Chain A
Amino acid sequence: MNSANTPARNTKVMSRFDLTSRLIAKLKHEEAVIGGIGNTNFDLWAAGHRPQNFYMLGSMGLAFPIALGVALAQPDRRVFALEGDGSLLMQLGSLSTIATLAPKNLTMVVMDNGIYQITGAQPTPGAAVADIVAIAVASGLTNSSWAADEDDFERLIEESMSDAGPTLIGVRIDDKPGVGTTRRDPVQIRERFMHGMGVREPL
């Protein structure tokens, strides 16, 4: 990751679990959180299960589209989405869709370690050359920025909650695996999430 080809960056390399925990600690209004495939949702699970969390067990790259769907269905609820850089590279077109629809209740976080950690830490095709935040800006998500450190991440999360359009926050993270392991029960995950969204009552 720190090869001679990598552009100089003034962003601190942080911990996915720590940042996820900081985000969850800020949530006071039953905000939705969509966790992308693998480590992203493992750390969301480990940060403390809430009924408003949704955990993806496949469909790599769809955390932002799923979050967009929730945001469109419930415009009065803040929706957060956590996605990895490798996942996002699979679905870059979704950034333009989101920029066009411009839901003001959507905050996207990209956990960027430049590797497919869970499959053996192979570098992503963009690791040494692509800038996810620059891609987001060029896709029309003008309110996109890198978090310099943990305090800056918290500030950007706070700001996003009152912004007039969607926000994307890029964070550089280390190469550690997720802290927990989500219980892989898709029906329960979906049903609990719908309870958390106030769409259904338990039987």
Chain B
Amino acid sequence: MAVAEEKTSPETSEKSWQGIVLQTLKRNDIRLVPYVPDRVLTTLIKNLHADPFFTTFPTAREEEAVGIVAGAWMGGMRSAVLMQTSGFATLANVLASLAIPYQIPLIMFVSERGTLGEFNYGQSLVCRTMRPVLDSLAMEHHTATRLDEFEFIVDRSIKQAITTQAPVALILSPLLTGGKVFDK
């Protein structure tokens, strides 16, 4: 019974946002996925762990994951990093001193905290730093809000990052994911 429910639940179907991320990573041969977790990313992380195609593991800091991605790319393996907004806020130095100047196609999925119903004042403040940092470095970034556009955004962004050897941030809006709300 529980298994049947899981199979049909929207979070594990290929048409869910989590399913689209997993399938699009796979289609683009992205095998390595280090992450610092977030509640919103729970199902995606669980599904990545369950799929032997992926090598996925937690790191202690987001910077560390960026270092791993840089090394893996130079060794011929494609990867992506999962994190939340506050984790992105720790990355300005490594973006400016490693990912951008060394032309590393760093693909980041950032689950957006701090907006559309945030209950933690600190999260709402740190969220305001994210896009100015991305813009100050002239980095490609997109905010995904709609499921019908999501696969296009993810697939095209991954391909552009790799062919132009430039990082990209894909921000997962609460409009797409439901976000994290006070009663959770």
Give the docked Cα–Cα distance between A56 and B93 (Å).
13
Q: Please state if B75 and A59 are interface contacts (CB–CB under 8 Å).
A: no
Q: Are A91 and B64 in contact (CB under 8 A)?
A: yes
B49 close to A (CB within 8 Å): no
Complex alpha-carbon distance, A74 and B73, angstroms: 11
Q: Give chain B residues whose Cβ lies under 8 Å from the Cβ of A13.
A: none
Per DSSP, chain A at the interface is helix
The total of chain B residues at the interface (CB under 8 A) is 32
Interface residues on A, range: 35 or more
Q: 8 Å CB contacts to B: which residues of A80-101?
A: 91-94, 96-97, 100-101
Residue of A nearest to B55 (CB): A72
Bound Cα distance from A59 to B69, whole angstroms: 13
The answer to whether B93 and A58 touch across the interface, beta carbons within 8 angstroms, is yes
Contact B59 A187 (CB under 8 A): no
A190 part of interface (Cβ distance < 8 Å): yes
CA distance A67 to B72 in the complex (A): 8
Q: How far is the CA of A189 from the CA of B75 in the complex (A)?
A: 14
Choose among A60, A66, A101, A198 the residue that contacts B71 (Cβ–Cβ < 8 A).
A66
B64–A93 CB distance below 8 A? yes
**A73 near B: Cβ within 8 Å?**
yes
Which residues of chain A have C-beta atoms less than 8 A from B61's C-beta? 91, 93
Within the complex, the shortest CB–CB distance from B75 to chain A, in Å, comes to 3
Distance, CA A91 to CA B62, complexed state (A): 11
Q: How far is the CB of A82 from chain B (nearest CB, A)?
A: 14
The distance from the CB of A185 to the nearest CB of chain B, in whole angstroms, is: 9
The reply to whether B63 and A73 contact each other, CB–CB distance below 8 Å, is: no
Q: A62-B94, A93-B61, A193-B74 are in contact. Are A187 and B68 (CB under 8 A)?
A: no
Contact residues in A for B94 (Cβ distance below 8 Å): 58-59, 62
Q: Is A54 an interface residue (CB 8 A)?
A: yes
Of all chain B residues, which has the CB nearest A77? B75
Are B102 and A72 in contact, with the CB atoms below 8 A? Answer: no
B76 touches A65 (CB 8 A): no
Q: Which of B58, B67, B101, B103 contacts A65 (CB 8 A)?
A: B67
Complex Cα distance, B59 from A73, in Å, reads 17
CA distance A190 to B55 in the complex (A): 24
Asked if B108 is at the interface (CB within 8 A of a chain A CB), the reply is: no
Checking B74, B98, B101 against A194 with a beta-carbon cut-off of 8 angstroms, the contacting residue is B74
Residue positions of B touching A, CB distance < 8 A: 32, 55, 57-61, 63-77, 79, 93-94, 96-98, 101-104
Q: A residues touching B (Cβ–Cβ < 8 Å)?
A: 32, 34, 54, 56-62, 64-74, 77, 91-94, 96-97, 100-101, 186-187, 189-190, 193-194, 197-199
Q: List 15 A-B contacts (CB under 8 A).
A: A58-B97, A62-B66, A65-B66, A69-B71, A73-B77, A93-B59, A94-B59, A94-B60, A94-B67, A96-B60, A97-B68, A186-B103, A187-B101, A190-B103, A199-B76
